A and B are shown apart, each in its own frame.
Chain A
Amino acid sequence: MSSSALGVQAAGVSPRVARFRYNKLGKIRFTSHRDVGRMWERALRKISLAVAYTSGFSPRPRIAFGFALPTGAESVAEYVDIALALDQAHELSEIPAQLTPALPDGLEVTGGVILEAGSPALQASVTSSTWHLTVPPSAGLAERLHALLAETSFEIEVERKGSSVLADIRPGVLAAELNDGQMNDESVITCDLSAKGTRPGDFLRALGADPLEARILRTQQWIDHEGGRAEPLAPGAYFAPPDTSGGPEPFAEVVKTVFREDSIDVGPEPVPVFAAAPSPARHAGRT
């Protein structure tokens, strides 16, 4: 099995890693992070994209996702890294357009690049995410938000692994602002929450808002970059046209990701992490 076309590591060569950015919008937001992993695996097989497989008893395609989006949340900034087998014959620039129809409705690939060898994994590099939290209007919401931001510590009861624990959610809130009533009498909180820090649902509850009444949308994920921050892959970033002989492939310098042999799993299921930066901020220099 390891000598199959997909088992590149049999040849002892590091595969190239492609990073794709995609949306998760609509009904499909009720599927879990793990479900999305399976959708990607099937889509790769549907378009016959030659993917590198793990070696061992039970080979799996080498796919790594970033921090999981909570079930029920939408996003226009999801990422996946896929190790391509060296003999894959696809025109790289055509892959995103082929993937979208192979994925279920609601998942749409919006960009893709080849990463420079040795680039860090998504889960190792993403530091925060920006969220749009749309909630029904609620008296005093602005005051509660200001009060929360004025504190250095804010403890609430949160659910972790099925039990209720006290957690300080304030350090994970990097920035937040409220836009009241701009859309149909709804309030939109734009916030940056640190990865591994504060979950959007917990932040809402800290503000006295019911997460079940909210529409949660991730608009950006951020990585540290040259003293500022950047998105792991800017929207619209695509593979360079074929025949970029030699030089680094486009955007490869932006992110460096590494595939470790054991970094194939989709991550833990109830995925906690959401990070964000304040208002849709500066992109670290790319358009």
Chain B
Amino acid sequence: MQATGGGGGRRLGSEMSIWPTVEPLLGRVQKPARYIGGEDGFVIPTHSPSKVAWLLVYPDAYEVGLPNQGLQILYEILNERPDALAERAYAPWLDMEQQMRSNGVPLFSVDGHQPASAFDLVAFNLSAELVYTNLLNCIDLAGVPVRSKDRRPEHPLIAAGGHCTFNPEPVADFVDFFVIGDGEEVVAEITTVIGDWKRSGRTEGSRENVLRELSKVPGVYVPSMYEVEYEGPALKAVTPRYPDVPATVEKRTIADLAAWPYPKSQLVPLTEVVHDRLNVEIFRGCTRGCRFCQAGMITRPVRERPAAQVRQMVSDGLARTGYDEVSLTSLSSADYSGIDDVVKGIIDDPACSGQVGVSLPSLRVDAFTVGIAAEIQRVRRTGLTFAPEGGTWRLRQVISKLIREEDLYGAVESAFSQGWQRVKLYFLIGLPTETMEDVEGIAELARNCAALGRTHTKKVSVTASVGGFVPKPQTPFQWFGQDTVGSLKSKVGRLRDVTKRDRGVNLRWHDPQATLAEGIASRGDRRIGTVIEDVWRSGGTFQEWGEYFDIARWEGAMERAGLSIDWYVHRDRDESEVLPWDHISAGLHKDFLWGDWQDALAAAGTEDCRWTPCYDCGACTGFGIEHVVASNVPPAGGSQGTGQDLSTGGSVPVRLLTKAGAS
């Protein structure tokens, strides 16, 4: 039995609820609604010995974590199972943490207000490296020793999933097991293994056994089952301790998104959060092959949700939640086959009364996309965002973001001519082979866009938003030495100088010091764990939040650990080097990635593999699945940001899977 709804404090049934100890703290903190649960769609599951209890934690503030779709999908899937239950927790803000620590209140679920100790496992979503110190803080607040080796059978298992787990090593000493890739299917297998452990009474020494069993589940990585050897500063090998532990852990991939129409009951928060709207995932994966993009590399192949299911999820979701805005989410939503029909269908749905807004994150840079945007923003044409990423065509070939200047200008011209006044352009600096000429290209693009805008409106505003590039594991740029803080600062300075007198051009930039800290955590090995623990112990939580970030903590921790920032962050790796994540596989062949890296250095782009012959990156073939797309003809017009001429449509090398193709 699960109670649905039910936010009233007095209605909580479970005898273990610690609400009476939480409630008195809430008058003393900011935004107490972060801690009360009660969202539309939440459940208060009943704990029982026959159910494996998962506490799903997003280790950042509630308003950032609540909308996370991955966490919500698993929350529903687990609560539908007879042998499992799931509740949620978020990192308490600093004021609440202080109240909890001084009153002896542990990390708790917001659903039934159960202490973390009531759960068999505490599973974290790791979406960004800078939350690693919050991960440690949450483990500590849960009453669990932060290092795996110090834990005992009475402690819940600590698990983690999410994009960061494609290099799990920096947090390998703190997490008992990782889930690599899509979680929808594997949580069932994990539940079975942990259920056996729970029924066995979690006896002395059983923790090692359950972890050994978990290590045999495909997609699960148990770091304590691996021996790590070093040779001086270099990593020599990561090898399994036992013959039945896999030498390489392959990611999990669900073949058919249509089989997983989750979340069915997206949580509607009681208080304001980011992305406060209905979110419907229209496809997973991306074929664009942008070399800097870890998400695009590790989520291959493309799996589209059938259009009919998208429409159903949208109309059901709007009716259930009362939202008046829906976001069609993916890594590049304009690439969805027939996106214009889906968008028109939502807007023209009589049930929506013309009051529903549609948003597409990650707009593609072309006029076709702007046409769709015009369709969905009939009224409020405030701002549009494009991401050319690189300032010159040469550099965009290096990163394989094959947007021609005419694509960008066509998109911007189209936007201004249709009533938009503000355009935002995202760029990366510190990219491989980048010269000051490429950096100045950013200013030139922004300047030309503003000039285009002035032919339509006097109030034109073009914002160039500039972030420092952090090379990510499992991408062609994993061998690249990250740019230094000094160099990034001088590039930002140069951009400030050259845009100073440009009317209508604004410049924004990301703190290069935060880029450095992210770089330390991004490609670190297990020795970086000491650094993360040091930063956490010195009080460095919420490192994604500028007001709490301090690079001195990270630099000091590296020095105390005797580790070189230059070696970990700024050094180019060579082909033979053992990388800390070599035993984790996203399906991409290492020689494909290396070849792509060499192509990058030669400024040769890789075309979108949806329309061109297979490069055999390994993602499809390795898992025996293929891109699942509904249309075999590229939408006509322009290059669609592929650098190819797709104006006449084209033939497609991918074989279409009937299930998704039948829309």
Binding site for B on A (CB under 8 A): 1, 4-6, 25-28, 30-32, 34-35, 38-39, 41-46, 57-59, 71-72, 102, 104-106, 211-213
In the complex, what's the smallest C-beta–C-beta distance from A84 to chain B, in angstroms?
Answer: 15
Of the candidates A4, A27, A35, the one whose C-beta lies within 8 Å of that of B37 is A27
Q: Is the CB of B38 within 8 A of A45?
A: no
Q: Is the CB of A26 within 8 A of B8?
A: yes
Contacting A at CB under 8 A, from B1-26, are: 5-11, 19, 24, 26
Determine the residue in chain B with the shortest Cβ distance to A36: B270
Of the candidates A4, A35, A42, A46, the one whose C-beta lies within 8 Å of that of B353 is A4
Question: Which residues of A sit under 8 angstroms from B19, Cβ to Cβ?
Answer: 27
User: A-B pairs with CB below 8 Å: how many?
Assistant: 95
Determine the residue in chain B with the shortest Cβ distance to A46: B322
Q: What are the 3 closest A-B residue pairs judged by CB atoms, nearest first? A: A42-B322, A26-B8, A105-B7
Given contacts A4-B355, A28-B270, 9 further A-B contacts (CB under 8 A): A1-B355, A6-B353, A27-B9, A31-B36, A39-B270, A57-B380, A71-B32, A72-B26, A211-B27
Determine the residue in chain B with the shortest Cβ distance to A44: B322
User: Within 8 Å of chain A (Cβ to Cβ): is B320?
Assistant: yes
Q: Is the CB of B7 within 8 A of A32?
A: no
Contacting A at CB under 8 A, from B264-288, are: 268, 270-272
Q: Is the CB of B33 within 8 A of A31?
A: yes
Of the candidates B26, B321, B355, B380, the one whose C-beta lies within 8 Å of that of A42 is B321
Interface size class of B (residues with CB under 8 A): 35 or more
> With A1-B354, A1-B379, A35-B272 known to touch, is A28 a contact of B8 (CB < 8 Å)?
yes
Q: Is the CB of A104 within 8 A of B28?
A: no
Majority SS at the chain A contact face: helix
Q: Is the CB of A27 within 8 A of B7?
A: yes
A4 to B355 Cα, complex, angstroms: 8
> With A71-B32, A105-B11, A211-B27 known to touch, is A31 a contact of B270 (CB < 8 Å)?
yes
In the complex, what's the smallest C-beta–C-beta distance from A26 to chain B, in angstroms?
Answer: 3
Which one of A4, A71, A211 has the greatest number of beta carbons of chain B within 10 Å? Answer: A71
In the complex, what's the smallest C-beta–C-beta distance from A9 to chain B, in angstroms?
Answer: 15
In the complex, what's the smallest C-beta–C-beta distance from A208 to chain B, in angstroms?
Answer: 17
Determine the residue in chain B with the shortest Cβ distance to A35: B271
Determine the residue in chain A with the shortest Cβ distance to B23: A27
14 A/B residue pairs, CB under 8 Å, sorted by A = A4-B354, A5-B354, A6-B353, A28-B36, A31-B33, A34-B272, A35-B33, A42-B40, A42-B268, A46-B321, A59-B355, A72-B27, A212-B27, A213-B24
Determine the residue in chain B with the shortest Cβ distance to A5: B353
Determine the residue in chain A with the shortest Cβ distance to B40: A104
Q: Is the CB of A212 within 8 A of B28?
A: yes
User: Within 8 Å of chain A (Cβ to Cβ): is B614?
Assistant: no
The contact string, 1 if C-beta is below 8 Å from chain A, for chain B 308-330, is 00000000001111111000000
User: Within 8 Å of chain A (Cβ to Cβ): is B503?
Assistant: no
The contact string, 1 if C-beta is below 8 Å from chain A, for chain B 290-321, is 00000000000000000000000000001111
Question: Which residues of B sit under 8 angstroms from A25, Cβ to Cβ?
Answer: 8
A39 to B268 Cα, complex, angstroms: 9
Of the candidates A27, A39, A44, A59, the one whose C-beta lies within 8 Å of that of B36 is A27
User: Within 8 Å of chain A (Cβ to Cβ): is B378?
Assistant: yes
Determine the residue in chain A with the shortest Cβ distance to B6: A105
> With A72-B26, A104-B40, A106-B38 known to touch, is A27 a contact of B271 (CB < 8 Å)?
no
Q: Is the CB of A58 within 8 A of B7?
A: no
Q: Is the CB of B32 within 8 A of A72?
A: yes
Q: Is the CB of A30 within 8 A of B36?
A: yes
In the complex, what's the smallest C-beta–C-beta distance from A238 to chain B, in angstroms?
Answer: 23
Question: Which residues of A sit under 8 angstroms from B37, Cβ to Cβ?
Answer: 27
In the complex, what's the smallest C-beta–C-beta distance from A223 to chain B, in angstroms?
Answer: 29
Determine the residue in chain A with the shortest Cβ distance to B354: A4
Question: Which residues of A sit under 8 angstroms from B322, Cβ to Cβ?
Answer: 41-46, 102
> With A58-B380, A71-B32 known to touch, is A105 a contact of B8 (CB < 8 Å)?
yes
Determine the residue in chain A with the shortest Cβ distance to B25: A212
Question: Which residues of B sit under 8 angstroms from A32, Cβ to Cβ?
Answer: 33, 271
Question: Which residues of B sit under 8 angstroms from A1, Cβ to Cβ?
Answer: 354-355, 378-379
Question: Which residues of B sit under 8 angstroms from A42, Cβ to Cβ?
Answer: 40, 268, 321-323
Determine the residue in chain A with the shortest Cβ distance to B268: A42
Which one of A26, A35, A58, A102 has the greatest number of beta carbons of chain B within 10 Å? Answer: A26
Q: Is the CB of A45 within 8 A of B36?
A: no
A27 to B5 Cα, complex, angstroms: 12
Determine the residue in chain A with the shortest Cβ distance to B276: A38
Question: Which residues of B sit under 8 angstroms from A213, Cβ to Cβ?
Answer: 24
Q: Is the CB of B355 within 8 A of A26?
A: no
Contacting A at CB under 8 A, from B60-100, are: none
Determine the residue in chain B with the shortest Cβ distance to A214: B27
Question: Which residues of B sit under 8 angstroms from A104, Cβ to Cβ?
Answer: 5, 7, 38-40, 270
A57 to B37 Cα, complex, angstroms: 34
Q: Is the CB of A45 within 8 A of B324?
A: yes
